[in-house]
Structure 1
Amino acid sequence: MTTLNHTGISHTVFHLLGIPGLEDQHMWISIPFFISYVIALLGNSLLIFIILTKRSLHEPMYLFLCMLAGTDIVLSTITVPQALAIFWFHAGEISLDCCITQVFFVHSTFVCESGILLVMAFDRYIAICYPLRYTTILTNSRIRKIGVALFLRSYGTIFPIIFLLRRLTFCKHNIIPHTCCEHIGLAKYACNDIRVNLWYGFFILMATVVLDVVLIFVSYVLILCAIFRMPSQNARHKALNTCGSHICVIILFYGPGIFTTLTQQFGRHIPPHIHILLANVCILAPPMLNPIIYGIKTKQIQEQVVHMFIRQK
């Protein structure tokens, strides 16, 4: 299965440790993991069901929200069950092919969700700055094209990582101190030169997530300028309220990721299990809290949820 030389034979099986240093606490740590996964599945599935079955919600804002809910379900499903298997059954063994597959879906889903948040910012920009042209700009046909473009961007940019990882010889140790596989975390166990992996990973980060953050920031600068030019205080309050839930979701998605990156770069003294826990927060928190935020902040979704449960009773 393994060898420790450069003959071209490498590890084909890896072992995920979960959260190293906290092995005796894995059963307790699994509780928030399990609860967050159940809430993410139920909340996002309910959100998708309500939006797709209510014609009154077949508007661009809710259709983009439906896309966001779908990516949240995928992101949770490809990571949390693996972590729970480690915590509950010590089933951390994973083949190289499965590990690379998980890398592909984790990174592509993350890039896709970032793109959806950018599109949702663009949606709010059009709704507030060009309200009379809103329905003519964001037609159903254009929304479908945007969805396809997001899919192609996320999977197209991450697809080369499969080949960048497959070319490597993993002749170092095969113990991964994490709950899931990720690109550089796997590549660093190779005996080959991984500078191509590092540079391509940096390129993807800059060309997708960082670019999305910059464009979202520019969108909200323009939105705020338009809002503060409104003569009516009620109009300003209503416009800010429509952006509130989206801003919360943006902070929730990018905030933990930025904090995790900073701790990895400058927090050398921070214990490894803290880094792993922070990385898992980036995966656990958005899928669980996004449907709650939109359920609380969006009146139309609130009304549909209440109506559905009252009708069932």
Structure 2
Amino acid sequence: MENISSSHILTVTALNDWDWTSRILFFSFALPGYLLTIILNATLIMIIAFEKALHEPMYIFLCNLCINDLCGITGFYPRALTYLLTERNVISHEECIVQGLVIVIYATGEFTSLSVMAVDRYIAICRPLHYHRIMSSFTVLSLVTFIWVFSCFVGLMAISLTLKYPICRHNINKLFCEHLSLLNLACKHDIFEGIVNGFIFIIMSFLFVFVLLSYLKIILACRKSKVSREKFFSTCIPHLISFLNTTCGLSDSLYTKFNIDTLSHVEHTFLSIIILTVPPFLNPLIYGIKLGPIRAKILYIFQRPKIK
């Protein structure tokens, strides 16, 4: 294995066409967005953690999703905000690798968490009498552990692949580092890279098809029962919106892998940051508004000072 030197300085070119006014304007939206995303996710985590009535599988998985979202935005926003305030958009190779690892773990964790949540909803609606027996505390703990172990495994495998090849280019065409961008810097490519990336693609495709099949069975089950339909609209719609939103965000990987140039530089930059900014912001909003117990708790928190 040819290990590369860690002394390389990489240049982020995503903001090359942006003037200072555009940078400040985007920063004025990005910083409040970052802080608000932290507040929304942290609030949902604390509500679920401190409210014993919410210590159920669905809410535990939701809490885990919010924790994963906080990890993702922490890996993206601080460095992106720094780029916006400085005209020297550079990052060391070591920092790029660390950021790439965090972002791959986040993206994999997001998709895996939503897949596990689809399993939970399938059992709750299609096999309600066996739900508490199947989704025991041990099962929930095992699934949460699987989400993080699997995400870390995929992240380490993907980033280790980028360390195999020496780099000949030093321009990152995104606002952040991830393993496909790092692979595009390599001097050469071989069949091993294709095997690893193919393995990751197959896993993600399997999870995607698995969720779609789960929801197909849920929809078929809802046709037979009014109670199931109510449960679907109250608990499944938020999850389905989050899943489709994350899937659309992952489409940027295809542009990076195949160097597709159908989009302008600015459009590609915005497309690439969708998965890192939109799901973490929308997830707590969607679930907080749609899920009755969480909505009730939020309303109680804000109305209590008025009652006093």
Q: Common fold, TM-score beyond 0.5?
A: yes
The answer to whether structure 1 residue 72 and structure 2 residue 69 are counterparts is yes
Give CA deviations for 1:104-124 in whole Å, capped at 9, x if unaligned.
Answer: 111111111111100111111
Shift of 1:9: 5.8
Aligned to 2:44: 47
| Cα pair 1:112 1:150 within 8 Å, conserved | yes
The answer to whether structure 1 residue 107 and structure 2 residue 115 are counterparts is no
Aligned residues: 304
Q: Helix, strand or coil for the counterpart of 2:251? A: helix
Q: Which runs of 5+ in 1 are unaligned?
A: 1-5
Aligned to 2:129: 132
Equivalent residue for 2:263, pick from 270, 288, 292: 270
1:200-215 aligned within 5 A: 200-207=196-203, 209-215=204-210
Q: Helix, strand or coil for the counterpart of 1:14? A: strand
Equivalent residue for 2:29, pick from 19, 32, 47: 32
1:273-284 aligned within 5 A: 273-284=266-277
What is the one-letter code of the residue matched to 1:132?
A: L
Aligned to 2:156: 159
Shift of 1:84: 0.5
| Cα pair 1:20 1:272 within 8 Å, conserved | no
The TM-score, its normalising length taken from structure 2, stands at 0.90
Shift of 1:303: 0.8
Shift of 1:235: 4.8
| Cα pair 1:48 1:70 within 8 Å, conserved | yes
The answer to whether structure 1 residue 229 and structure 2 residue 224 are counterparts is yes
Q: Which runs of 5+ in 2 are unaligned?
A: none
Shift of 1:195: 4.5
- 1:269 to 1:224, Cα distance in 2 relative to 1, 3 A: closer
The TM-score, its normalising length taken from structure 1, stands at 0.89
Q: Helix, strand or coil for the counterpart of 2:11? A: strand
Aligned to 2:18: 22
Give CA deviations for 1:137-190 in whole Å, capped at 9, x if unaligned.
Answer: 1111211111111111111122123332223222x2323232111112112222
- 1:150 to 1:275, Cα distance in 2 relative to 1, 3 A: same
Q: Helix, strand or coil for the counterpart of 1:211? A: helix
Q: What percent identity do the matched residue pairs reach? A: 27
| Cα pair 1:228 1:236 within 8 Å, conserved | yes
| Range moving further from structure 2, 149-158 or 267-276 | 267-276
| Cα pair 1:256 1:282 within 8 Å, conserved | yes
Shift of 1:250: 1.1
